[in-house]
Each structure stands twice: as C-alpha cells, then as structure tokens.
Structure 1
Amino acid sequence: MSNQDTKIHIIGAGISGLVAAIVLEQNGFSPVLIEATDRVGGRVKTDIVNGYQLDHGFQVLLTAYPAARKFLDYNALELQNFLPGASIFKNNKQEVIGDPLRDASLLFSTLFANVGTVTDKLKILQLNTKLKKKSIADIFSDKPQMTFSYLTDLGFSSEIINDFFKPFFSGIFLENKLETSSRMFEFVYKMFGEGNAALPKGGIEEIPKQLLKQLKSTTIKYKTTVSSIRENKILLADGQELERDYIIIATEASNLIQNLKNQAIEWQSCDTLYFETENRTIKKPLIGLIPDQNSLINNIFYHTSLKTTLNAGKELLSVSIVDNHGLTGIKLISQVQKELKELCGITSTTFIKHFSIPKSLPKLSELHYEISPSETRLTETIYLAGDIQLNGSLNAAMIAGEKAALGVLENLQGLFK
C-alpha cells in the first residue's frame, strides 16, 4: 500500500487536527480532515462584528510555548505583545504591577503599588528565578497540589493571592478557587516569564489560518458531522459511511466511540462580552483584574491597546466572566455594565456581542506535558489527539496532534517492515 493509497481521516480541524495533518503531509500522506463547522480553528476563532475583531473568548498566545515556536511563523502572524504585568482595580484605584526586569516602565508602579507586601514582591522575584531554572520535564514530574495551597506554602500573603494570583490565574484556568494543579501553574508562569503574551494582529484565528496554509494535499470536509466511529468505518450524521485505514480523533472521543461513553470529559465554561467605549481606562496593553470576590467580572482588556487589522474607530473592550452567577441575556449584560462603572470607572459602554462558551477548557485530573506516539493509540487503527490528552493549552493541542500523527506513522512503518 502506497502513502497516497493509505486512507487517514482526522476528526476535528482545530489546532490539534491541523498539526496532525501537517505532520502526515510532511511524511508523504494526504489525509482527510472532517470538520463539523464551516471553518478550521475549533475553539480558536475570531468573528468580525461591527468592524471589530472578536475572539471567541479572551485568548492569548504565549510565545515561549515550544510547540508553537515549532509550528508557527511568529513574524507572519504580526504578533502584538502585552506588557508583562496587570492593572488591578482596587478601592476605586488602578494599581499597576508587573515584571520590571522585563519592562523598566513597570518598576515604580510595581514598587509603590498597594498590592501585597514588600515580602510578596520579593517572593515573586524568587519564584521567577526558580521557574526559569526549572525544566518543563521537572515541572510535570513533581508531585502536584492545588495552586492555592502551593502559593500558600511558598509564603505568599492572602492579600497578594486574592488581589493578583486569584483573578489573574482564574482567568487562565477558568475556575476561581485555584484548584488547578500546581504543575499547570508552574508551566504557565514559566511561559509568561520566558516569552510574551501576544495576539496576532488579525485576531487569535490567524493561528489556525496559518496552520491551514501549510496544508497542500489534505482534503477538508467542512460542515460534516461524525455520529460514530467503528473499527473500519466513520458514520456521518447524514447516514454516509466512510471507509478508512486509520483515524485520528482530534476532538472529544467519548461522543463517537461506544465503549468510551462513560469517559466523557468535564469542561470549564466562561462568558466573554464585548463592548465599544469612547476611551480607554487602561492606557497601556495590560490586562485589567477585578479582585472583588463578589463581582461577576474576572478581567477586562482593551483590544485596541494593541494594533489590530480591523478597527471601527473607537475602543474595543472585552470582559471575561468565570462564574456568571446564573445570569444570562440582558440581566448579565446589565450587571456587567453596572460593575464596569462601579469597579472600573467605565461609564459609557455599547454592547456588541456575548460569547457563552460551555466548553472552554477541559477539566483534567492528571496533567502531563508530553505523550509518546504509541500512547495516543486507542486501537490498532484509532489514535487520539487534542489538548484533552495532556493539559488545556494551545501548546498541548499541538504536541498531541503531532504525536498522534507519529503514532500512525510508527504503525505503518511496522507493517512495511
């Protein structure tokens, strides 16, 4: 059987599925990507509304991600970098803290910010140094604990945990108790320290678009829903059956394979609301944090503080919510606008769009960085990809996609020997 005769289907054209297709093409194969929606990207998408770029949820690329450096051309993405810090809305004031070793403009504001103690600020520098020296392999081999207890054990005060760590990392982990594994905390913290948080000039969807451009011989079937998978066949929702030799499932497999029904993944959800404003309350490209324990809002960001391909002329503000307190629709929008006014001094907001994202981030009890190609194999002909195999990150999605493709290739090489 030649490479071109081997039928390899990939379910899901998100980041992981796209990377799997790239690796297969690099090895002479022409896979078929099956995607339920009308475009690639999975959870990494951008809509154009009223002349603004609206990402599906507040997302950033951490440029230190090793897999992202391998598969993406950062220059072509025209990455726009955030400043390495945050603006904290506390007691009707903005307190700016950050890493002055990476950006000197943050030195004085950090030193004099009414956030945490002097000891806390020294401990942050110590943590930075510790994690720069610690390898990713060591991070993911250490015994995990909850991030909250990890920070407490390091001696951070409750003030700095509540004012900075909790709102900042709740926005990343999408849970507000810092129950996420310390492995993930250390990994993300290390990535922030070794690179930049950035957005492509054209929005987050430029990442899957760039991966798509790398594909030359892959066939993509859009608006095609898979209902189930059997050992030799893919059954589509329209009743069609596809014959295949190998399959890579780059989405949640429990919905597709009968004996995995009891292994469904739990997901963290979030809401992101976009508003147009006349002015920017945060002048620099910094994320705004709301440490109020009772507030809906977790963080805010002015996307127009970065260069964007499209801009309708005013300011674009995103509001991220980890726990919507059961509010939806008009009630949610109204409460967010009220909090923007009371907590952030943002008085004039025009609502644009609300993204309710029930499957934002997988809840995983065991977090890993790497996986071997053979570990992605479910059966002789079915392989699993997606960030759900490792940890909830774009980096993990890329690694899992690559390793699943290599798993198929290893199997094929074994047959040819």
Structure 2
Amino acid sequence: MTTVIVAGAGLAGLVAARHLARLGVDVHVFEREDEVGGRVRTERKDGFVLDRGFQVLFTSYPAARRELDFDDLDLRYFAPGAVLARPGSRSTLSDPFRDPGTLFESMANREVRLGDKVRTLKLRRELTRKPNREIFAGEDESIEEYLRERGFSESFRDNFVGPFYGGISLDRSLSTSKKVFEFTFKMLSTGRIAVPADGMGAISEQLARKARAAGATIHLEEVVSAVESDGDEVRVEIDGETITGDVAVVATDPKAARELTGVDSIPTDAHSCITQYFVHDEPLDTGDRILLNVGDDAPNEIVPVSTIAPEFSPEGRELLSATFLGLPEESDEELAETVVETLQRWYPDRDFAPLEHLHTDRIEFAQFAQPPGVFDTLPTTRTDEGSVYLAGDFTEASSLNAAMESGRKAALAVYDDL
C-alpha cells in the first residue's frame, strides 16, 4: 500500500489526510503540538471558551460547505453588519437584504453617505453573480484603489471598510489585494458569519475525527525537522528518527514549510495581531454585532463573544474580545487599560472599571500578507521534488476556505500522480 506522510495537522493537513485515506492510501500525520488545528485552536479557562485570536467561519465558503458538517458544529450566528463606534456615538450599519429590520436605521446612519450605501448595494448585486474563478483572475490593485475608482468616498473607506476589513485581512490601510475584498464581500453577501458553540477549535477537531474515521493515523507532539526525496521515496526526520514513505505532504505553517521544502515562493511576510479577552457582568447593546472602532485603531474591534455564543461564558458573565492589529509594544496590562478607556468613551453612561482582563493572545503570524499581485506568486501544490507536495492556505489565499481547499487539491494531486 502507498504510504503518505503529512507534516502538520492544521486544517490543510487534516483535509488532505482524510481525502487520501478515503482513496485507500496509508496516511500518517505528524503534528508538533499536543493538539490538532494549527492556528485554529480553542482554549478553555475558568469556564470560558477562548479562541486563539478572534476568528469566524463564513458559511458560504465553498470548502467549508464541502468539508464540514455544520449541524455537528452547532453554529452560533452573528447579526449582519456592524456597530460603528466612536466617543459618545454608536450606530448600526447592516445589509437590508439579510437584515430588513435594520433598513431605516442603516439608511439613517450618518457615518456613511447615501451615495456610498447605493454603491454598496450595486456592488453586492455584481459580486454575488461573479464566479469565484473570475474574482481571482485578471489584473489586481489594492482595496483602496478599487473603492476609489468605483466612486466610494474617503469617509466610507475610513469609517467602515478600513476597520471592517482590518478585522478580516488585519490590514486597516486597505493595501490588501482587491481580490480578497471581492471574495469576502461575496461570501458575506451570500452567507452568514458564525462560530461553533464549542469554539473554532471544534472545526479542527471535527476534521481530525473525519480523517481518523477514513483511516488516517494522527501522531501528536511529533516534530518533523527534515523532508528529503530521491524520486522513489521520501525520508522524513521526526524527532531524530528517519522514516520513509512514498510521498510527503508538507502542511505546516508557511515559515516551516519553506524551511522543509526550500520553496522560496512560499510567502513568509506576516500580519500580526493581539487579541485580549475580558469578563464583564453587563452585556453590551450591539444586537449580536461586532463593534468597529471608527475613531482610531486601538483596538480595531470589540466583540461581545458570549452574546453571540452563550456557551463561551458561564451564565451571568459577559465575555468580550478586543483585537489590536500588529504587535503593539505596550504590555498586556497597558493594552487592557486602552480597552477599558475605549469602552468608557463609547458608553459614557456605563462603568467599565470592573472589566476583568482574562487572557491575551499575541499572534505573530496570523495571516500572510496579501498585497496586490500576490496570487500570481504563490506556489503550486506540486514541488520540484516529485514526491513532495504542499498543502496550506499559502498555496491559495489566507483564509480557512483556502486552507481546506488546498488540502483537497494536494490529496487529488498525489492520487493523480500515483
């Protein structure tokens, strides 16, 4: 039987392992951590459910619909749109097609001009009809240039798109590729934003169960330090021991994948973020929506996590998350003070002094950078070493969808070549 060694048990590695095992291949997955998931993991602390950084699932992701069982994940849904917050002012901006109850409130929102609202509806109609393959084809430019050419005002870009896409692409400057904007805008227009009731780590755990059920073996706390191929077989060094197989699929993080394979086109320029979790006794009045900071960028957004997913918090306690873009030099305590001060300015009639800082995640490599033109430079699944393949979002785009899609493509490439 053909033996495939998969390095990494993130979403890409788990999907690749499942498909290969279903095709009758002997699959062994080696993961350096003590749990699966890579960047998609969840920690439990004092009864609270804490995702590793603020992450969500777009239910319209094609790969998610193909690879995941949504019913088993028991999804909890965000309300469409967001609350735009600045000192002494909070206003709702939503999608009237998916959230008709907010039509008048959204139309009356003074943060965004009427002309921009009309342009947004026209863009929604256009992109929902645009095939995904066309979105990622052709010329490229930044989100900033794309919106300016379409007539969107500077205030719209600054007051809504900047902070909203700061949360998606970790780039509030809108220098990210317009292809990221078009794809995510389409996903938001045709589906919903959700989190599993047990946290985002439930996605990784479900994929691991599916991989094991198909016949794959997953080895935890096993570090892959080298991958070599002579064309006939691969030799993989794991914790000082060399094992052999017919094929290796490298599905690690981008930096490790580049070191293991020598493929220079694997992107390693990163966007970072810091997510802090807080506990409060009185819920915010956001209507299951994200609070976007339109006044400044510290923090970029605050999310009433347990309002959306009550399972994330013990009864009677409100769990909030706040995300800062980049890696600010301030200490965890100083950043927590910034969050308290920000909430106090947004809600001047409330007292946030009792806000309890629960946990901080400093994530150095949250996404790889996606400037205009990046999709023309990404590596393919196949490498120059005939028996070594790549699986990871770095072969597609920086998203959960891309990670799962890359795993499927790697499995199909291995099977076709064999």
- TM bucket (normalised to shorter chain) is over 0.9
Pairing partner for 1:265 from 263, 268, 271 = 268
After superposition, what is the alpha-carbon deviation per residue over 1:376-417, rounded to whole angstroms, capped at 9, x for unaligned? Answer: 3442100001001110011111111111111111111xxxxx
1:401 is aligned to 2:407: yes
For residues 261-311 of structure 1, give each alpha carbon's deviation from its aligned partner in whole angstroms, at most 9, with x where no partner exists: 685611110000000011122341101100123x41000111111234352
- Residue 6 (1) aligns with residue 20 (2): no
Take 2:181 and 2:241, find their aligned partners in 1: how far apart are those partners?
44
Q: Does 2:9 correspond to 1:18?
A: no
Deviations 1:34-93 (A, max 9, x none): 001011111001111121111111111000011110011111111111111100103411
Query: Structure 1 stretch 269-278 or stretch 321-330: which is displaced more?
Result: 321-330
2:393 — aligned with what?
A: 387
Given that 1:35 and 1:224 are in contact with CA atoms closer than 8 Å, whether structure 2 keeps it comes out as yes
SS of the residue corresponding to residue 354 of structure 1 reads strand
Q: Distance in 2 between matches of 1:353 and 1:91?
A: 25
Distance 1:324 1:264 in 2: 19
- 2:81 equivalent to 1:79: no
How many Å apart are 1:10 and its aligned residue?
A: 0.4
1:218 and 2:216 are equivalent in the alignment: yes
Equivalent residues of 2:293, 2:299 under 8 A apart: yes
User: Which secondary structure state, in structure 1, belongs to the residue aligned with residue 365 of structure 2?
Assistant: strand
Aligned length: 403
User: Using the alignment, how far apart are the partners of 2:320 and 2:54 within structure 1?
Assistant: 11
Corresponding residue for residue 233 of structure 1: 235
Partner of 2:309: 307
Structure 1 counterpart of 2:245, one-letter code: R
Q: Shift of the alpha carbon at 1:351?
A: 0.5
**CA–CA distance in structure 1, aligned partners of residues 343 and 206 of structure 2:** 35
Return 327-336 or 145-154, whichever deviates more: 327-336
Question: Contact (CA 8 Å) 2:87, 2:295: kept in 1 or not?
Answer: no
> Could you tell me which residue of structure 2 aligns to residue 243 of structure 1?
244
d(CA) in 2 for partners of 1:87, 1:323: 23
Answer yes or no: is 1:162 the counterpart of 2:132: no
Closer/same/farther in 2, CA of residues 336 and 323 from structure 1, 3 Å limit: farther
Q: For the residues of structure 1 that align with 2:174 and 2:182, how far apart are their CA atoms? A: 13
Distance in 1, matches of 2:202 and 2:381, equals 30
Q: TM-score normalised to the size of structure 1?
A: 0.92
1:330 to partner: Cα distance: 2.2
Q: Work out the CA distance in 1 between the residues paired with 2:68 and 2:265.
A: 36
1:338-417 to 2 correspondences below 5 Å: 338-345=341-348, 347=352, 348-365=354-371, 366-368=373-375, 375-412=381-418
The alpha-carbon distance between structure 1 residues 90 and 296, as it changes in their structure 2 partners (threshold 3 A), is closer
Indicate if the aligned counterparts of 1:296 and 1:323 stay in contact, CA closer than 8 A.
Answer: no
**d(CA) in 2 for partners of 1:301, 1:195:** 20
1:291 equivalent in alignment to 2:294? yes
- 2:191 is aligned to 195
Deviation at 1:358, TM superposition (A): 0.5
Contact 1:84 1:103 in 2 (8 A): yes
Deviations 1:349-373 (A, max 9, x none): 100000000010012454559x99x
Q: Which shows bigger deviation, 190-199 or 341-350?
A: 341-350
Q: Using structure 2 for the length normalisation, give the TM-score.
A: 0.92
Task: Check whether the contact 1:296–1:325 (CA below 8 A) recurs between aligned residues.
Answer: no
Q: Deviations over 1:136-188 (max 9, x none)?
A: 11111131100011111111111111110000001111122111100110000
Closer, same or farther: CA 310–317 of 1 in aligned 2, 3 Å: closer
Distance in 1 (CA, whole Å) between partners of 2:100 and 2:187 is 20
Question: For 2:148, what is the secondary structure of its paired residue?
Answer: helix
1:122 and 1:182 map into 2 onto residues whose CA distance is 20
Does residue 319 (structure 1) correspond to residue 322 (structure 2)? The answer is yes
2:382 and 2:99 map into 1 onto residues whose CA distance is 41
2:259 aligned partner: 255
More off after superposition, 248-257 vs 37-46: 248-257
Per the alignment, residue 31 of structure 2 pairs with: 35
Percent of aligned positions with the same letter in both sequences? Answer: 32
Write the distance in 1 (CA, Å) between the matches of 2:374 and 2:184.
Answer: 13
Which 5+ residue runs of structure 1 have no aligned equivalent?
Answer: 413-417
1:110-133: CA deviations, max 9, x gaps?
011111111111111111111112
Q: Is the 8 A contact 2:225 2:260 kept in 1?
A: yes
C-alpha RMSD of the superposition = 1.9
The one-letter amino acid paired with 1:401 is G
Q: Is residue 55 of structure 2 the alignment partner of residue 54 of structure 1?
A: no
Of 299-308 and 17-26, the range deviating more from structure 2: 299-308
Go from structure 1 to structure 2 and tell me whether the alpha carbon gap of 1:367 and 1:395 turns closer, same or farther (over 3 Å shift): farther
The verdict on how the C-alpha distance between 1:310 and 1:157 changes in structure 2, with shifts beyond 3 A counting, is closer
Instruction: Provide the secondary structure at the position in 2 that maps to 1:209.
Output: helix
Distance change in 2, residues 1:174/1:310 (3 Å): closer
Partner-residue secondary structure (3-state), 2:285: coil
CA distance in 2, matches of 1:194, 1:367: 25
Helix, strand or coil: the match of 1:170?
A: helix
